[in-house]
Structure 1
Amino acid sequence: MRRLPLLAAALGTAVLVVTSLFVGGYDLSLRSLLDDPDALNMFLISRVPRTLALVLAAAAMGVCGVIMQMLVQNRFVEPTTTGASEWAALGVLLLAMFAPAAPVLGRMAAASAFAFLGTMVFLGVLRRVRLRSSVVVPLVGIMLGAVVSAVTLYLASGADLLQMLATWRSGGFSSVVRGQYEPLWIVGLIVAGLYLAADRFTIAGLGRDVATGLGLRHERIVLAGVSMVALATGVTTVVVGFIPFLGLVVPNLVSLTRGDDVRANLPWVVLGSVALMTGCDLIGRVVVSPLEIPASVILGAVGATLFIGMILRKRNTLHG
């Protein structure tokens, strides 16, 4: 009986995912898949890869948000509020400038390395600056990300790569086809690894003294967590672009309703992230059909609204 709500949530998310397979500018139906070879090819080449990319990217960003919040001990952080995504874009841009013929794996490696560097810079700033309010922590990350983004924009304008940079920032799934999304299976493995190590990250989130007292090497756990988050952020940025606020909003909503058991919450975070991302993608495809609004635009508006609401709620709680 305890698993019924989770099964119901999984069923609802599955309905959204299946709906995503049949919504778009090219009209598809079960009958057309059986009778029309062109429709079947469109389904296998475009719709299935697009939906798989959406599911994998959303799950990765949601779980990465949970892990970052544990490691930083702050509920308002995730890759896009620590500047990691902006650093990843800088890495890809520099590679495009100095090694334009680099393969996809090279771009992913550059994005992941710079995302790791940006996260370590963010953690270094937090260790050296005493912040009285937890709300200020994500603002520090956003400001650092804005500085890096400005540098990236300046370099892109000088190298005539603004259009390519805009494509990375779009965070849409319209260009995802078979042969392009497959690297996202890496982030699927990362999600599984983060789930298996959830208890260790929870203990590391209690602080260095507590973790050391329980026999864990705090620095090693933090380094492993940051590395996995950076790799997931880098791969996702290269394949589908930025996905803002997803790892911030969903984990907080799950914690508000279910408490702080990280391992028990992770399946809910995955389902919630996939459902929210799929819903935003469907809205973007339907509102201006047959054109399309990138899912990141819809998600950014929803996520920013919820983010501000959480900040106001935190402020009212502190003053109350």
Structure 2
Amino acid sequence: MPIRLLAALAICALAVASLFVGVSEVTPAALLDPASSARAFEILWASRVPRTLALILAGVSLAVAGLLMQMLTRNRFVEPSTAGTVESASLGMLAATLLLPEASILTRMLVSAGFALAGTALFLRILARVPLRSPLVVPLVGLMLGGVLSAVTTFLAYRYDLMQALAAWTTADFSVVLRGRYELLWIAFALALAAYVAADRFTVAGMGEDFTTNLGLDYRRLMVVGLVIVSLVTASVVSTVGIIPFLGLVVPNVVSLFAGDNMRRTLPWVAALGAALVLACDLIGRVIRPPYEIPVGTVFGVVGSAVFLALLLNRRARVA
């Protein structure tokens, strides 16, 4: 059986499991039983289907954003949560809540995207001034910048009694996803499709400014477009479900081991693996200690940080 078909079947199986795993009794038998079918269908369409779609959309878009960021910075260890992008988006959501309390969620997302773009630009500006003697320096700079931004965000949230809202933005929790509260993730998915359409151009941009210019492409424009896509994707996910750390780092690195570095060839695999991992981590969080749930951000944070350390140690061993 072709590996692509196996991957598609695996994602479908995880999605189906996501529909029928949870505290409320939603099973095929309950859907067919006239006595319980009305309530089961209501839960299915109001909660389970939106949650499953949100998991897939968030996994696909964040994994693609991570791959795009790695291509543009030419570093395997860069993604929104290791470049200050996620922390900047959280600060933007907090600023929008404080300054525009009556604004719609779309307006807050756009403000968050602006902050994410500014934070990413600051990260790149710092990198331009730091001697990069090792590729490990890049994520360390991003983590330190993210720590500073996170400290500022936490201080402001504590000062204005918004710690509970900040917790919702910094930990991906899909248990609150309902119909009408996840649709912004379709914007992130559309941006991921746009990245696939322009994959060849971004692959060229990842080879450097001189090479890109020699082929007649505008390197700076490609960088701006790529960073805008990453910022909008990050902001839409943060404003809807919260942060899933290390997803954009782990998935592209795993895919590159068997599919190479060509973005057009690897991007479908990155999207599929991102969706599958988020679905799997959500299912793990639901079954470990029912009826309580462990947020996806916590589960993937443990897995992603371990893989991140393994990648760092592996790179250091190869360099030595």
TM range (shorter): over 0.9
* Per-residue deviation, residues 83-103 of structure 1 (Å, max 9, x unmatched): 101000101101111221211
Distance 2:203 2:106 in 1: 31
Deviation at 1:17, TM superposition (A): 1.1
CA distance in 1, matches of 2:27, 2:289: 21
Q: Report matched runs for 1:89-168 at 5 Å.
A: 89-168=90-169
Residues 194-245 of structure 1: per-residue CA shift (max 9 Å, x gap): 0010110010010100000001000000000000110010011000000100
The count of aligned residue pairs is: 317
Given residue 43 of structure 1, which amino acid in structure 2 is its aligned partner? Answer: L
Displacement after TM superposition at 1:261 (Å): 1.9
Query: Structure 2 CA distance, aligned partners of 1:13 and 1:244?
Result: 21
Map of 2:280 onto structure 1: 279
1:167 is displaced (CA, Å) by 1.5
SS in 1 for 2:243: coil
Give 5+ residue unaligned stretches, structure 1. Answer: none
Distance of 2:8 and 2:246 partners within structure 1: 22
Tell me, in whole angstroms, the C-alpha distance in 1 between the residues paired with 2:267 and 2:68: 10
Structure 1 length-normalised TM = 0.98
Instruction: Please state how far the C-alpha of 1:31 moved relative to its aligned partner.
Output: 2.4
Give CA deviations for 1:6-58 in whole Å, capped at 9, x if unaligned.
12111111111111111011121112123310110000000000010110011
Q: Which moved more, 1:10-19 or 1:280-289?
A: 10-19
Does the aligned pair in 2 maintain the 1:286–1:292 contact within 8 Å? Answer: yes
> Is 1:25 equivalent to 2:23 in the alignment?
yes
Corresponding residue for residue 268 of structure 1:
269
**Residues 260-287 of structure 1, C-alpha deviation per residue, up to 9 Å, x if partnerless?**
1211111111111111111110000000
Structure 2 distance, partners of 1:99, 1:182, is 21
Residue segments in structure 2 that go unaligned for 5+ positions in a row: none
Q: Distance in 2 between matches of 1:18 and 1:266?
A: 24
Q: Which secondary structure does the structure 1 equivalent of 2:184 belong to?
A: helix
Distance 1:128 1:10 in 2: 44
Q: Which residue of 2 aligns with 1:16?
A: 14
Alignment map for 1:1-320 (pairs within 5 Å): 4-35=2-33, 36-319=37-320
Q: Which amino acid aligns with 2:12?
A: A
Question: Letter of the aligned partner of 2:23 in structure 1?
Answer: G
CA distance in structure 2 between the partners assigned to 1:200 and 1:258 by the alignment: 18
- The whole-number CA distance in structure 2 between the counterparts of 1:221 and 1:34 is 52
Distance (Å, rounded) in 2 between the aligned partners of 1:176 and 1:305: 28
1-side partners of 2:214 and 2:127: how far apart?
23
Q: Cα offset for 1:258? A: 1.9
CA RMSD for the aligned pairs? 0.9
- Alpha-carbon distance between aligned partners in 1 of 2:192 and 2:207, rounded to the nearest angstrom: 21
Distance, in Å, in 2 between the alignment partners of 1:18 and 1:114 is: 37
Of the structure 1 ranges 297-306 and 116-125, higher mean CA displacement relative to structure 2 is found in 116-125
> C-alpha distance in 1, partners of 2:16/2:84?
33
Provide the rounded CA distance (Å) in 2 between the counterparts of 1:265 and 1:104: 33
User: AA paired with 1:171?
Assistant: A
Structure 2 distance, partners of 1:239, 1:10, is 26
Displacement, 1:183?
1.2
Query: Deviation of residue 246 (structure 1)?
Result: 0.4
